A and B are shown apart, each in its own frame.
Chain A
Amino acid sequence: MSTTNPARPAEQPQTVPVRPTRSPMSRFVVPRPLRPGQGSTLLRHLFWVAVAAAVVYFVSYGIDPFRNYQLATVAAYLCVTAGLTMLTGLNGQLSLGHGALMACGAYTVALAQNEFSDRDLFGPWRLPISLALGVLVAALAGALIGVCAARLRGPYLAGVTLAVALVVPAFTTRFADLFNADQGLSVYVDSPPAGLGPYFPPERWQAWIAIGAAMVSLLVVANLVNSRFGRSFKAVRDDEVAAKLVGIHVARTQVLAFVVSAACAGLGGGVLAVISQSVSPSVFGLTLSLNLLLAIVLGGLGSLFGAAWGALLLVLLPYLTTEVTRGFDLSPRLANKLEGNLPLAIFGLTLIVVMLVAPGGIQEAFRALGRTVRRRWRRT
């Protein structure tokens, strides 16, 4: 697809003045001027991450265990969507296989945690080491896929990564002694530290772990995006030929983006294994991979804010659609037909409507709203 002419003319105003040939991959772009950072990017990001973590810390005290569990799940997905929105939104590589990369992280964490407890190795260092191993394994898998992906474009990349998403059950079944096939493994997770008191809900502890991981993931991605590499990512996405001409090693840039986003996926998968205390292949199937893609596009492709919206939607949309339909009082006959199906229909419709109303995703819609409000403000 890389050299076929774009089937449709560009429909949005361009902010980059000179564009001799637009690669079709550049349609992934929501164009936005680059803004050079002021001061130390890392410090500024660290500050905001600390603020966010503090806010979340206090909020986690105010909500009940189930909300904490939902919060933890949102944070686990946020680890992944942050990396994926960088890969797809900023580097233009489409992946339908991030569920499999999450599985790499999750299974590594499961095996490591269980190995530690089998050998009676205890201590607060266990979980960070397990998670680090999970990130490492996912990053290695990501490097492998990334090398192949660097040669592929558009739907061909989608096809290969879709096939990657489907191999997880094959592996767990083939190596059933290690992975226990479809049934999966339970994950040994320590209870919250004794210092927090005997009635400290485990869900709140898990939420803290998940949020910590999400902040690490966001920090890494935010800094990478604002570095030299981030600019190369966008250059490669917008025009590969031009990027090559200015001396960017295209393949290397693409592999780097894939590895970082795979590492984020591994972290998210590992956190998910911890908060659910179990791993099994069907958790990480094609549905999850497609949901991740849904999340970043609905949220707003290419923006970390959008990634957060997306992670939130992944958890809240199914929950809310079920709650809404639960309110209806149905006869048994009708209930047998509608139960389960009605929430899915609403979910599907919501996706379609959001995409039609806000093609740039929720984040873009809010930004547009903000612009309108500011303009009005100035006028009055």
Chain B
Amino acid sequence: MDRFIFLTFDGLSRGAVYAAFALALVLIWRAARVVNFAQGAMAVVTAYAAYTISDAVGSYLVGFLVALVSGLALGALVERGLMRFVGHANPLNDVIVALGLVLFLTAVVGMIFGGEYRAANQPFDTSAIEVGGIPLMSRYDLFIWGTVAAIVVLLALLFTRTAVGLRMRAAAFAPEVSRLLGVNVGRMLTLGWALAAVVGAVAGVLILPTELGLHPHAMDIVFASAFAAAIVGGLDSPVGAVVGGIIVGLILSYVSGYLGAALTPVAVLVVLLAVLLLRPGGIFSSVRARTV
């Protein structure tokens, strides 16, 4: 039982970061109907920016802010400078360009910073607080939870309470009508990318201390887990991303703990199939397939 409780808390901590990363994927999907395969590589770039500045200044908070700003800039840049010009002969072109971007960004980061691991910066003590002899959560885990919760609340407010949020939703769901009504659809798209990249950058900075360290490929595996999380929850639903992230985090922890680390990919596949065969659009899908 101790083991189960331990694994549950471990999975929840992991899940929170997957949730944040999945949220970034959901944001771009909602804005542009694109699965951003370059999300991981973009988060690596912003993390390097954050670490370089924060090492120079000696403050974690400054680094965190740099991650936010560079995420905003990079997201806008990628949309304005690249994605906007991708032809839409088929939606796979976006995927291929994103994959090209992944190769390019990782290679450039590798050239500038080298391929070595760089130790993660952490603002808080990561040693776990013990309850009844079971190490449960560290202060850093609580920081992750707090930050992810804040992101969710802020996004919810943005989309439901502000004019910009409304315009963004309109531009994503009915671009023609929105354009007629005077919404600058192109600008909303850029904003969507920038916002998603900010969330991805925060997720990247949050997850690094729980990983091996900063490295050009630091987000490869995280991306796969986060993609699974977003799919499980439903790509159209921010709540789904959070729930999906937690489910994936828990599954990885339980399977590692009880069955062996090597089997986790099988477990992820099984969960994906179990959820999607029952609900092909993810747990929180709202639209029903039209049938004859």
Which residues of A does B touch, CB under 8 Å? 1-9, 11-12, 24, 27-30, 88, 94, 148, 151-156, 158-160, 162-164, 166-167, 169-171, 173-174, 241, 244-245, 286, 290, 293-294, 297-298, 301, 337-338, 340-342, 344-345, 347-352, 355-356, 359-360, 364
Contacts and interface: CB of A to CB of B under 8 A. Distances in A.
B92 A301 contact: yes
A220 B127 CA distance: 60
Nearest to A4: B287
B211 to A, nearest CB: 17
Q: How large is the interface on B (under 10, 10 to 19, 20 to 34, 35 or more residues)?
A: 35 or more
A351 B292 contact: no
B290 A3 contact: yes
Given A8-B175, A156-B231, A151 B280 contact: yes
B56 interface: no
Nearest to B31: A7
Contacts of A27: 88, 90-91
B263 A153 contact: no
B106 A344 contact: yes
B146 interface: no
B199 to A, nearest CB: 18
B153 interface: no
Contacts of B114: 337
Given A351-B97, A359-B87, 11 more contacts: A2-B289, A2-B290, A3-B288, A151-B280, A159-B227, A169-B265, A170-B264, A170-B266, A301-B89, A344-B104, A355-B86
B197 interface: no
B62 interface: no
The 6 tightest CB contacts between A and B, nearest first, are: A359-B87, A348-B103, A351-B100, A348-B104, A159-B231, A345-B107
Interface stretch (B12-20, B136-144, B267-275): B267-275
B277 interface: yes
Contacts of B287: 3-4
Contacts of A290: 99
A279 to B, nearest CB: 18
A28 B100 contact: no
Nearest to A337: B111
B235 interface: yes
Nearest to A148: B273
Interface of B: 29, 32-33, 35, 82, 85-93, 95-97, 99-108, 110-112, 114, 172-176, 224, 227-228, 230-231, 235-236, 260, 262-266, 268-269, 272-273, 276-277, 280-282, 287-292
Contacts, number: 188
A380 B264 CA distance: 66
B136 to A, nearest CB: 29
Contact of B269 (A167, A169, A345, A351): A167
Nearest to A30: B89
Contact of A162 (B107, B224, B289): B224
B89 A359 contact: yes
A305 to B, nearest CB: 16
B262 A170 contact: yes
- Which of A298, A342, A345, A350 has the most C-beta atoms of chain B within 10 angstroms of its own C-beta? A345
Contacts of B82: 352
Contacts of A8: 33, 88, 175
B224 A360 contact: no
Nearest to A344: B107
B89 A360 contact: yes
A172 to B, nearest CB: 9
A12 B263 CA distance: 45
Contacts of B103: 344-345, 347-348, 351
Given A7-B32, A345-B104, A338 B111 contact: yes
B276 A152 contact: yes
8 contacts: A155-B235, A159-B272, A160-B269, A171-B266, A293-B95, A341-B107, A342-B111, A364-B89
Contacts of A6: 33
A26 to B, nearest CB: 9
In this complex, the member of A6, A155, A301 whose beta carbon has the largest number of chain B beta carbons within 10 angstroms is: A155
Contact of A355 (B87, B265, B273): B87
A297 B277 CA distance: 28
Nearest to A336: B114
Given A8-B175, A244-B292, A148 B277 contact: yes
A159 B262 contact: no
